Each structure stands twice: as structure tokens, then as C-alpha cells.
Amino acid sequence: MTSAPEEHLRLEGIGVSFGAVNVIPSLDLSVRKGEMVAFLGPSGCGKTTTLRIIAGLNKPSRGQIKVGGRDITQLPIHDRDMGMVFQSYALFPHMNVARNVAFGLQMRNVPAREAETRATQALEMVQLGHLAHRKPKELSGGQQQRVALARALVIEPSILLLDEPLSNLDAKLRDEMRVQIRALQQQSGITAVFVTHDQVEALSMCDRVVVMRGGQVEQFGTPTEVYERPATAFVANFVGRTNRLKGTVTSEGTLTAAGQQLRSATTLAPGAVDILVRPHRIRLQETGEAANKVEGTVSSITFIGDLVQYAVRVGGGEIVVEEATRRDRSPLAVGDGVTLGWSAEDTLVYPAGEK
């Protein structure tokens, strides 16, 4: 018997209109049991709206939400068995940490003694057992966010919903929390939806990523798929950095740009195209047999610590190349001639004009 991954959460034709504005036209999505899925997209693309609809904080204008095959579209929030963590933490300021965490259990009529024990365990899970008697305002941002996480997990929800939970933390703490949240999610085996506009969070923490734009799914795939085989130019640009060259495909299928022939692993339809190549996939001083070789002249060099960015003038345009900083690198100077090289798989080609 083949064991197909079990579907847990399903959105079917979910649509949302605020007055006359159709924010989400029609969304279909399926999340498997135990996986963590990211909703990734720019501000305003509908991530929070979709999450709130899953949670039951908003009702969709159209469509259905199913959990384990059961239609829960009309089910009130507290009957949905979901935990939610907000960007703003949304802790109760007048309650101490322990009471904040126990609150959801009290609401579910869990006896006081048991609620206390479970709240303590949840706080220990996020390493905050020692701060149980503090008020939220006596905690740092990262600590408050961990309280919010404990509060969501203590009710042992079947689905955990996180809305930009790391956006208000500084960079170092964000890195730590990424690892912690992912570890907690994997240990508990909980199904999770993680909303973020940060591609690093989406790629590093989640099993699969939904790239959203204007209330629609641009691509739904593993981190590797959306990064290596972006379905659209929008995805390629949003998930990582790219160079963009204008090119054409002839009726024989030959791809030309920057005054010369290029090779792509993509099957190409004739016409005008945009060619995207990631800066770190390009070698600066190609000496071997690369599928793509382009001569150019270094026009600027920018040192940014762990990376060096080279802008290279090529026929009809400029290509940025990124290299990891190395001590043994032979120094290049502005004005030097270089031979850029990259593989056919790294030449991403899309119909011209796609944003």
C-alpha cells in the first residue's frame, strides 16, 4: 500500500471581498498533516487575511475550509482547535506570564490544577519557566513572543497559525527563534502555517512554501523548487536576487541576449523573453566549458562583508555577480576584462514583461 501524505487542512475556492474590493479572488490550497507551510509574499498580498480565515477570525466571502475532510467554514473560532501567534504578541498586559499561558485552558474549562501544570510545562518548553510571575511588559520582545508561542501550544491545537511572529525581533534573536520554532513544530508534529514576507524564514523553516501575489498563488512547492525552478519571474525575484536581461527566442529555439547566444534548460517558445540569472550562480573568471559564456568588463566592485558584488558591463547591459569573500582570490579591479560563465540550469527564461 502506498501511504500518500495525509491531507490535514484544505482551502477550496476561498474568496474574500472587502466591500467592492476583491482581495482574494479564489484560493485553493492543501496542507499535509505535520508539515509547516509558509505563506510568502509582499505586504498586502493577502497572507494575514487568509490566515485569519483559517483561524475563524474572519469569514470568507466564498469557498470552504476543511480540516481532516470536515467542513469547518461556519465553525466559530473556539471550536476550531487552532492556536494562533500574532506579530504583535497580543498578550494580556494585566496578567502575569503563567496566567497568560493558562488562559486558553481556563476558557476550555480545564481544571485549575491541571491548567497550572500544563502552563508550566509549556513555559519550560520555550525556556521561560523562571519568568512565570513576570508581567508581559517586564519581558523583552523575544521573551514575549515565546510566551505567545507557549500560549498557542498549551491548548495542544491540531493546527498552529503564525503571523509574522519574528518581524519585531532583532536579527540575531530572529535567527535563534527560527530554529526554536521549527524544532518545536517538528517535535510536536503539529501542522503549521507560517505567514512571512521574509524569504529566508520561509525557505529555512518550512517544508513547503506558497508564494502569494495579489491574493493568488504564484507557486506552491518545496523551498528548493521555488528557489531553483521558480514558476514565474515574480517568484524568481521575490525568492532570492536575480539579474534580468532582455532577450529573444528565434523560431529555431535559439536564445540570444547581450549580443550573443545563451543556453537554458527551459523549453522555449519563440518571442521576446526576460532572462533571469542569480548573481551567485555566475563565475567571474570562467576558464572551463560553461554552457553560457559572456565577455564583460568590471564596472564596479562592492565589498559587503561575506560577499563581494561585481557589476560587469556586457553587450547591451550589466550583470551583477556575487562571490563569497575569500582570502586566496586573485584581486580584480574596475576596468578588468572578465569571462562570465554559468550553467544552462541557471538561465531562467520567462515571457517578456512578466513582473
Ligand X SMILES: Nc1ncnc2c1ncn2[C@@H]1O[C@H](COP(=O)(O)OP(=O)(O)O)[C@@H](O)[C@H]1O
Q: From the CB of 19, what's the least distance to ligand X, in Å?
A: 7
Instruction: Compare residues 48 and 100 and give the one whose CB is closer to Mg ion.
Output: 48
Q: From the CB of 88, what's the least distance to ligand X, in Å?
A: 13
Q: From the CB of 135, what's the least distance to ligand X, in Å?
A: 29
Q: From the CB of 209, what's the least distance to Mg ion, in Å?
A: 16
Which of Mg ion, ligand X, none lies near 191, with the C-beta cut-off 5 to 8 A by kind?
none
Q: Using CA atoms, how far apart are residues 22 and 114, in angstroms rounded to an integer?
A: 46
Instruction: Compare residues 80 and 197 and give the one whose CB is closer to Mg ion.
Output: 197
Which of ligand X, Mg ion, none lies near 223, with the C-beta cut-off 5 to 8 A by kind?
none
Q: Using CA atoms, how far apart are residues 256 and 24, in angstroms rounded to an integer?
A: 38
Q: Using CA atoms, how far apart are residues 275 and 256, in angstroms rounded to an integer?
A: 10
Q: From the CB of 205, what's the least distance to Mg ion, in Å?
A: 17
Contacting residue, 7, 12, 23, 311, with ligand X by CB under 6 A: 23
DSSP for residue 283 = B
Residue-wise burial string across 276-297, b where 16 or more C-beta atoms lie within 10 A, e elsewhere = bbbbbbbbbebeeebebbbebe
DSSP 3-27: -PPPEEEEEEEEEEEETTEEEEEEE
Strand order in the sheet with 62-67: 21-32, 7-18, 62-67, 70-71
Instruction: Compare residues 49 and 199 and give the one whose CB is closer to ligand X.
Output: 49
Q: Are 345 and 276 in contact (CB under 8 A)?
A: no
Contacting residue, 18, 74, 186, 272, with ligand X by CB under 6 A: 18
Q: From the CB of 288, what's the least distance to ligand X, in Å?
A: 44
Which of ligand X, Mg ion, none lies near 60, with the C-beta cut-off 5 to 8 A by kind?
none
Instruction: Compare residues 213 and 278 and give the one whose CB is closer to ligand X.
Output: 213
Instruction: Compare residues 48 and 243 and give the one whose CB is closer to Mg ion.
Output: 48
Residues engaged in binding Mg ion (CB under 5 A): 48
Instruction: Compare residues 49 and 145 and give the one whose CB is closer to ligand X.
Output: 49
Q: From the CB of 50, what's the least distance to ligand X, in Å?
A: 7
Candidates 240, 245, 189, 244; CA nearest to 219 is: 240
Strand order in the sheet with 255-257: 260-262, 255-257, 243-249, 271-277, 348-351
Which of ligand X, Mg ion, none lies near 278, with the C-beta cut-off 5 to 8 A by kind?
none
At residue 104, the 3 state secondary structure works out as: helix
Kind of pairing between the strands at 191-196 and 243-249? unpaired
The Cβ of residue 172 has, within 10 Å, a number of other Cβ atoms equal to 9
Scanning residues 28 to 87, which ones bind ligand X (CB under 6 A)? 41, 43-49
Question: Under rule CB under 6 A, how many of the chain's residues touch ligand X?
Answer: 10
Which of Mg ion, ligand X, none lies near 44, with the C-beta cut-off 5 to 8 A by kind?
ligand X
What is the binding site for ligand X (CB under 6 A)? 18, 23, 41, 43-49
